[in-house]
Every structure is written in C-alpha cells, then in structure tokens.
A = this chain, B = another copy of it.
C-alpha cells in the first residue's frame, strides 16, 4: 500500500545513489571540463584574477526546517556565496558543495535542496562542479565558490577615502523582518507584504549585476550579511577611516510598516542597521560619480541611496558611535 510507505531517506539510498540522483541537475559540464564523478573537477580557468570564498549554514543556527524548505536552504547558500563575489565586483563562476545529512533526512529534502542550488546557479551562470557527502546529527551545508574578478580589479573593503559618499543598493531590514514573520508566525491582512518579507529572508537575490556595474565606480564595497552597523564597521576599520550616517536616509524595506502595524515593538531602523542577511551592497565612491552610478543601476531597476559620508573619524551612525549599534549585530558562536 503505497500511501503507507515511509518516505525514502538518505540512509535508505546511501551516498553513491544520492549523488547519482542529484548530479544530473548540475550538468552538463562546460566544454573541456569534467564536473563530478572523478577525484576532482577540472576547470579551464579564464586569464583573469579569481575570487574564492566559502559559506556554511548549520541547521537550527542558520536555518530551521520548521519554516525553511530544502529549496530555500539551497537557494540561500548559493546566494550568500554569490553575494560575497558580487561585493568584489565579480561574477560567480564555479562552486563545490559539502553536505552533512542525518541518515533519516528525506531524499525529497535533498532533492529540493539541490533544486534550490541549481535554480539560482543557472540564473547566475554558475557551474556546480562537485561535492562531498557525510552524515551527522544535524544538517550542515557549505559551498565554496570561485568568481571572476572584474576587469578593473576586485573592489576591496579597504579603499574608502575621506570625503567619499556612502551608498547602499536596494532597501534594508527586509530579511530581518522576514525572519520575525517566520519565527513568530506573524500573519494577517497584507499577504503581499508578508510574502515580500519572507522572500527577503528565504530567497535573497545577490546583487551580482549591480556589483559588476559598481566595480567601475566604487573605492570600497562590502555586502550586507551581518547588518549595516557590523559591515560598515568592517569597511571603516579596513580603510582606516570614520563615517557619518544620516539615519533618515537609510532606505527601509517597504513592507516593514506592515510588520510594525502587526507587531508594535518592531523598530524598522534597528532591523535595517543590525538585522543582517539583506545581501545588499554597501559602497564608497566619489560624490561626482554618484549620479552616473545611480543611473546605471536604475537601468537594472535597482536603487542606489546615499546614506552618509566617509570622514577621518570617528565612525558614527546618527548621533551614536557605530560600536553601540554593532554590539546588537549578529555574530556566530558568541555567548550572550
């Protein structure tokens, strides 16, 4: 009786059969390359500078199966890595994945995870060329990604100059707002807003095309993965500069008002500054280039907002020290 059959698990199938089941989603390999099925993948490197990064997501820390599908997890893992490549002005090129599963993890979850990785990879022109499985008591997944640096050279965090204007792409706080919606099960009229916030958290879109355009203008760039306060702190420290951020100028995700109506203790600005995972780009550029950069991003339908200036120091957001905000940002491992 089929309807009584227990779902097929990773342990039923085993490593090799699991690989055979998901590998076809990621092929065929590029011409002249070998992907999957040998000791390593083989790659025909372009004659450019390469970018190399990795991102790790652990069950119940970085995602929860109570509200994230396998597809969501796979998508977000690719997005987080691609966002790091975007922040250098590069484009995603090749990636490998490491996947630890519980033996009772359903094969359907693994397939959905692979589908999520494959769909965003296809959009980005990224080749998923290999991987490794192990088992564990919790699901943990990591991707290591190679990118191609822009012709202008990679945009580092350390290039901010005193007098530069500080800008962000898009709007902030949506991912943190979406996490609240998911964690607290917030609902009510306004399914468009609710869906937009959840999508910001679960299906972030890395700003790859935007990063490539901005590489021609930015002195320094970083992606907003840990929240504006933390990531701005990384940039000012790496560059040896300070900053002033105008709180009124920080672009807030348009659905945060909806969230505050349903959850009065919500502070949209605080979500924008300390929430993290928006995967927007923060950059410094010469003020004279702002209008051109803004026009070029506008062609892609993406806004570019001036939120402040680079100073000699100290680093301030509104009338507070950046560090006061930063203490509220997310950091792995730290006991609170």
- Confirm or deny: A97 has a beta carbon within 8 angstroms of a beta carbon on chain B: yes
- Confirm or deny: A40 has a beta carbon within 8 angstroms of a beta carbon on chain B: yes
CB-based contact A47/B47 at 8 Å: yes
- Binary flags per residue of A6-44, CB closer than 8 Å to B gives 1, else 0: 000111111110100000000000000010011111111
Q: Which residue of B lies closest to A153 (CB)?
A: B42
- Confirm or deny: A243 has a beta carbon within 8 angstroms of a beta carbon on chain B: no
Give me 12 other A-B pairs in contact (C-beta within 8 A), A14-B334, A39-B222 excluded. A12-B335, A14-B333, A34-B154, A39-B157, A40-B52, A40-B88, A43-B49, A45-B49, A58-B136, A61-B100, A103-B333, A135-B333
CB-based contact B138/A14 at 8 Å: no
Residues of A within 8 A of B (CB): 9-16, 18, 34, 37-62, 84-85, 87-88, 90, 94, 96-101, 103, 129-138, 140, 142, 144, 146-147, 149, 154, 156-158, 221-223, 238, 331-335
CB-based contact A144/B54 at 8 Å: yes
Residues of chain B within 8 A of A136, CB atoms compared: 58-59, 61, 138, 140
Residues of chain B within 8 A of A53, CB atoms compared: 39-41, 96, 130
Q: Which residue of B lies closest to A89 (CB)?
A: B39
The complex places the Cα of A39 from the Cα of B14 at a distance, in Å, of 35
Give the copy number: 2
The complex places the Cα of A40 from the Cα of B37 at a distance, in Å, of 27
The complex places the Cα of A55 from the Cα of B54 at a distance, in Å, of 13
CB-based contact B332/A42 at 8 Å: no
CB-based contact A134/B58 at 8 Å: yes
Least Cβ distance of A82 to chain B in Å?
A: 11
21 A-B contacts (beta carbon < 8 Å)? A11-B333, A15-B331, A40-B147, A42-B52, A42-B154, A43-B49, A43-B52, A45-B49, A52-B130, A54-B96, A56-B98, A58-B135, A58-B136, A58-B140, A60-B137, A61-B100, A98-B144, A132-B142, A135-B332, A136-B140, A140-B140
Least Cβ distance of A294 to chain B in Å?
A: 22
